[in-house]
Structure 1
Amino acid sequence: MKAFVHEYGELKLKEMNEPFADHGQVAVAIRTAGLNRRDVAVPNRRGEDAGALILGSDGAGLIEAVGEGVSEFSVGDEVIINPSLGWYENTEAPPKQFDILGMPDNGTFTEYIVLPAEQVEQKPAHLSWEEAGVLALSALTGYRALFTKGKVQEGETLFIPGAGSGVATYLIQFAKQAGARIIVTSRSEEKRQQALELGADRALNTNSDWPVELREETIDIVIDSVGKATFNHSLEVLKKGGRLVTFGATTEDTIELNLRKFFYGQYKLIGTTMGSQEELRAMLELVDEHQIHPIVDRTYTLDEAHDAMAYLKASKQFGKVALKITN
C-alpha cells in the first residue's frame, strides 16, 4: 500500500505492507484524510535515525475487514476514525494511556489502516468524504474547549483570536448553535468575511487595537490557540472573572504573565487538548442534529502530500486541508 511517511529525517511517499485486522480490530480503506498542525510538528519531534512512521491523525473510509470478536461493524460500513487513543470517559484530564494517532502509532495518510474497533465511529450520512475525513481531531478539540472546559452559555460572548484555523471554524458553528455571540480576528480581510458568512457576529483585524474595538463588548470567554502572540492581548479584553481556554501555541508557547493583574482580575485560565470518546460521540450528535458541515479549504491527492503540508504550514487556509487517498 502507498503511504506518506517520515523516515530518517525525510518526508516521502513509500510502499508499505498492508496491515491485517486481528482480534477486536477493523481494517479501514481510507477515502480521505485530514491535515492538522500536529502533522507539521511531528517530524521535528523525531530523530533523523527514526524509521518510517505514517503521518496523519484524521481520516474516513470504508471497513475493509473485521477481526474476530467484532460485531458492531461490518465490511462496507462508512466510518470516521477517532484519533484520541485510550481516552473513553469524559474526565477532567486524559488518562495516562492517552495518545494521539499518528505518533507513535502509524496514522491515516495511507490507503489502509488497522485499528481497534472502538477507535472508529459511523460516518454522519450528510457529510461528504472530504468533510468526514477532516472532522474528528479539530471538531473534538473545539467541542471540549467550548462545552466541557469553557462551559459556554446562551447569550455569552465568545472571542476567538485567529479565524482561519480548522478548530476556529468548528468553534464558530458550535457556538452559534449554543446561542453565543461570536467575535473573531484575522489579518486577512477575506478570512474575516468568510468567518462572518460562517456565523461570526464580528470580525476584527488582528492588528487593530482590541480594547478600543471591543470597548462596548463584554467578553465572557476567550478560546485561544495562538499562544504568545495573542495571549496577553486576549486577557486585556476578557471581562473580570472571565474564562480563557487555551489548547495550542502556533506561535511561541512560553509567555510572560503579570500575575498581580491576573489574580486581581480573578480570571480563570483553563487548559485543554483533544477529548474523550464520550465527547466525540456527543460532538457527532451535534453535527448530525444541526447538519453542520466542516469547512474544507482545499483538497490534495496523496501524491501531493508535500504541497498540502507546505500549504498548511503557511497558514493560508480557512478551515481544513484534506488529502484524497482513494476514489
Structure 2
Amino acid sequence: MRAVVLREFGAADVLRPGEVPDPVAEPGWVTVRLKAAALNWHDVLVRRGQYGSPLPHVPGADGAGIRADTGEEVVIVPSLWWGADESAPARNWEILGDHRPGTYAELVRVPAECLAPRPAGYSWAQAAALPLVGLTTYRALFTRARLRAGESLLVLGAGGGIATTAVTFACGIGASAVVTSSSRAKIEQAQALGAKDGVLYTETGWEQAAKKLSPGGRGFDVVLDSAGTWAEALTALRPGGRLVVLGANAAEHAPIDVRRFYFGQYSLLGTTMGGPQDFAGLLRLLGEHPIAPPVLDRTFPLAEAAAAHRHLEQGGGFGKVVLLHD
C-alpha cells in the first residue's frame, strides 16, 4: 500500500512517500481504508524522534475512512488500551502512530474498540480532524475541569486545533470564552467562532489584561493551558478557579508561589488525551449541543506530508491541517 514512511528522524523532509506491506488482519482488530488523516503537533514530535518510534515507521494518529469488513464510515480513536480506570490511563496506554503504524497510509489496523461512527454531516477532512483534539479537549474541559454553562474560560492560544475546539465547545454549551494569541487576526478569527475577545500574549501584563475581560474582572472559572505558563495563568483565575494543563509548548518548568496558590483555593488539573469513555461523552456532547465541526486550516495530498508538516511548524495557520488520501 502507499504510505508516508519515516526512515530516519529529523526535519520535515524525512517524511517521504513509499510502499509498505498491507496490514494483516487478526482477531479483535479492524482494517480501515483511510480517506483522510489529520496532523497534530504530536506527529511532529514523533518525526523528530521524541517518542522513540521504530524505524522505518508510518506516523499519524488521526484518521477517518471505511471499515474493510463492514463498509461502515468511521473515525479512528487514537487512544489505545486506556484501561478500565477513567481517572488515568493504564501503564500500557499508547497513542496510535507512536509505536504502531499510523494513519499516513492507505490502510491502518486498529483495535475494534477504537472505532466510532463518522459524525453526520462531517466531511472526511472534518471527521479526521476530530478525534485527537476533540477527545483531548473534551477530557480537559468536561471530564477534568467540569466546565458548565454560564462559566467563563480563558484559552491560552487561539489558532491551534485544541484552542479552536475549546472555543467551539465552550460556546456551544453556553459558557463564555476569551483567548490569547500573538496575532490580532487570530483573535478576530476566534471571535468569529464565538469567543468574546482576546489579548496579545506578546504584550507585558497580558494576564492582567485577560483578567479584565472576565465576568466582573474577577478572573476566569477555568484556564486551559497548553503552554506551561502556570504563574501567568493563575493570575487570570478567579479565587477557587481551575487551571487545566495539557501541554508545555512554552515552558517545561513552572515556578508557583505556593502560599498564593493555596490561599487562592485553586485547583491544578493535569490532563492528556482521554479514553473510550471520554470519546463516548464527546459524541453525546456533539449530539446535544449546536457545536460546529472542527475548523480546517488547509488540506494537502497524502504524498505532500512533508509540506504539510512544514506548514504546521510555521505556526501561522488557524485550525487543523489535514492529509487527503484520494
Using structure 1 for the length normalisation, give the TM-score: 0.91
8 Å contact kept, 1:142–1:167: yes
8 Å contact kept, 1:141–1:273: yes
Give the equivalent residue in structure 1 for 2:150. 155
Q: CA deviation at 1:26?
A: 1.6
Q: Which amino acid aligns with 1:298?
A: R
Separation in 2 of the partners of 1:185 and 1:307?
Answer: 27
Q: Which amino acid aligns with 1:313?
A: E
Q: How does 1:155-234 map to 2 (within 5 A)?
A: 155-208=150-203, 209=205, 210-215=207-212, 216-217=216-217, 218-227=219-228, 230-234=229-233
Are residue 305 (structure 1) and residue 305 (structure 2) matched? yes
Q: CA deviation at 1:79?
A: 0.4
Separation in 2 of the partners of 1:46 and 1:234?
Answer: 27
8 Å contact kept, 1:8–1:48: no
Backbone CA RMSD of aligned residues? 1.8
Deviations 1:131-190 (A, max 9, x none): 001110001000000001011122111111101110111111111122111111111122
Give the equivalent residue in structure 1 for 2:22. 18
TM-aligned CA distance change 1:115 to 1:212, over 3 Å: closer
Q: Which amino acid aligns with 2:7?
A: E
Separation in 2 of the partners of 1:248 and 1:321?
Answer: 19
8 Å contact kept, 1:88–1:278: no
8 Å contact kept, 2:210–2:236: no
Q: CA deviation at 1:297?
A: 0.5
TM-aligned CA distance change 1:92 to 1:299, over 3 Å: same
User: Matched residue of 1:245: which SS?
Assistant: strand
- For structure 2, the 5+ residue unaligned runs are none
Q: Which of 18, 31, 34 matches 1:30? A: 34
Separation in 2 of the partners of 1:213 and 1:283?
Answer: 28
- For structure 1, the 5+ residue unaligned runs are 67-73
TM-aligned CA distance change 1:213 to 1:53, over 3 Å: closer
* Worse-superposed segment, 108-117 or 10-19: 10-19
8 Å contact kept, 1:4–1:13: yes
Q: Which amino acid aligns with 1:113?
A: V
User: Matched residue of 2:240: which SS?
Assistant: strand
Q: CA deviation at 1:28?
A: 0.7
Separation in 1 of the partners of 2:86 and 2:52?
Answer: 36
Q: Which amino acid aligns with 1:132?
A: A
Separation in 2 of the partners of 1:172 and 1:205?
Answer: 17
Separation in 1 of the partners of 2:280 and 2:28?
Answer: 20
Give the equivalent residue in structure 2 for 1:245. 244
Give the equivalent residue in structure 1 for 2:257. 258
Separation in 2 of the partners of 1:52 and 1:112?
Answer: 16
Q: CA deviation at 1:44?
A: 2.7
Separation in 1 of the partners of 2:49 and 2:57?
Answer: 12
Q: Which amino acid aligns with 1:220?
A: D
**What is the identity percentage for the equivalent residue pairs of Structure 1 and Structure 2?**
38
Q: How does 1:305-324 map to 2 (within 5 A)?
A: 305-324=305-324
Separation in 2 of the partners of 1:160 and 1:213?
Answer: 10
Using structure 2 for the length normalisation, give the TM-score: 0.91
Are residue 267 (structure 1) and residue 266 (structure 2) matched? yes
Give the equivalent residue in structure 1 for 2:73. 78
Are residue 98 (structure 1) and residue 102 (structure 2) matched? no
